[in-house]
Chain A
Amino acid sequence: MLDLMTGNAAAAKAAMLARVEVIAAYPITPQTSISEKLAEMVANGEMNAKYIKVESEHSAMAALIGASYIGARTFTATSSQGLALMHEMLFWASGARRPIVMPVVSRALGPPWNIWTDHMDVMGERDTGWMQLFCENNQETLDLILMAYRVAEDKDIMLPAMIIEDGFILSHTFEKVDVPAIEEIDFYLHPFNPDVKVNFRKPRRYGSLVMPDWAMEFRYNNALAMEKAKKKWVEAGIAFKKAFGRDYSSLVELYRCEDADVALIVAGSAAGTAKVSADRMRERGRKVGVAKLRAFRPFPTEEVMRLGEGVRTIGVFDRSYTFAQGGAIYGEVRNALYPMASDVRVKGYIGGLGGRDITEAEFEKMFEDLLAIAKSGSMSKDVEWVALKDGSYRW
């Protein structure tokens, strides 16, 4: 059924459709309306879930880890400082192999104190062992949360997942969303029935002290599960397409990249803007494309390499900065393309931090910059801050 809803309403709706059993949530802008909507649905009996009003995000994650060990499907949502506060328990959730699904409404971390979107919060958690997927629009937010349960709870995976929607740009903006019937979802997403859960016939200790003789092998198994998750996301995408018609069967969605001279890798809502810019450039005969990065963890190394084989000049737009070389996605892309370093040039663009608008015109400038690099075969800077007020204002 078509409906008009915000990204946060779509996220809450997805939790309802997934028949989530335990919710633990704490308010934070711009996530708050997810927790409110869920509280309302539970209070009205539209959702048969237990809602724990926790006193912090740290406790939200801790409570869900406990609930998941009983075998309950669990859900929370957060943003920014709240995600940072959860940090310790994010490691716990992934190490304990609890398939918790959590939309993160991305927002800057202060200072500079700021409630608007960027990806510094989620990139700060990239090494916690969580799967991380970016949404371009509200439809994707709903769909990816449902898919996330299917992948996270797969017996070979058992890893938690963050579904990232950009604060305000998606979370508070109304868009048309096709909402599947819950019966259709039941067919796509089966009840959670994990092998590892509390069982009185076999009382066990979950989360034992592990000595150096085996701790590394447990970590390796986490790494293997993350690697296997690539295939599982593709499979979940194919099944989703079959059931609902929308296609999420690739970890990197290519837009007009086939014959492109240059391509820009973008994650999140900015991908939509970049696509419009690409269309404009194409109208002017400029062969540019957009590669929308859907999955950041697991990282689609093979897909990025395949892109590099066809397109020899690649830009990466990051809404985050790592205080080293560029943004987080840029680092991963350069890593993935290192084996073809002599043939492919990669340029990083940092922009849209602290909610700064990133416009079609700015993407066009990035494309022009990339085309110039492709033509000359050289670039003066590896990483550039987009639309930075530096006095020269090159853009």
Chain B
Amino acid sequence: METYRDLPQSTYSLQTTESVRTGTWRTFRPIIDTKKCTRCYTCWKFCPDVSIEVREEGEYPRVDYDHCKGCGICANECPTGAIEMVREDSIC
């Protein structure tokens, strides 16, 4: 879109927010330890950012770091302590 002529008639959306990389907001990164993970999917259930993915039931959950804001709910709620929040600048 370059000019007013390219706009839709009113302010309706044209795409989802998926292209917004909210992962850049993150200060702490959740890291899932699959040795401790029991695949209860509590982390998936409570993620406000739709950033914990379970592709198939039975698989280990995975974090979408492009969108995870690092709120830490997953680590706080994990019943087995399988998720650790690690400062981004400590990861090389």
Contact = CB atoms under 8 A, between A and B. Distances in A.
A217 B3 contact: yes
Nearest to B10: A97
A338 interface: no
B7 A206 contact: no
B interface residue count range (under 10 / 10 to 19 / 20 to 34 / 35 or more):
10 to 19
A158 B7 contact: no
A95 interface: yes
Interface in A167-191: none
A84 B60 CA distance: 59
A196 B10 contact: yes
B2 to A, nearest CB: 10
A221 B12 contact: no
Among B1, B8, B12, B13: residue with most chain A CB under 10 A: B12
A207 B11 contact: yes
Interface residues of A, number: 18
A217 B4 contact: yes
Among A95, A158, A205: residue with most chain B CB under 10 A: A205
Interface of B: 1, 3-4, 7-14
Interface of A: 95-97, 158, 195-196, 204-208, 210, 214, 217-218, 220-221, 224
29 contacts: A95-B11, A96-B10, A96-B11, A97-B9, A97-B10, A158-B9, A158-B10, A196-B8, A204-B12, A204-B13, A204-B14, A205-B12, A205-B13, A206-B11, A207-B10, A207-B11, A208-B11, A208-B13, A210-B11, A214-B1, A217-B3, A217-B4, A217-B7, A218-B4, A218-B10, A218-B11, A220-B4, A221-B4, A221-B7
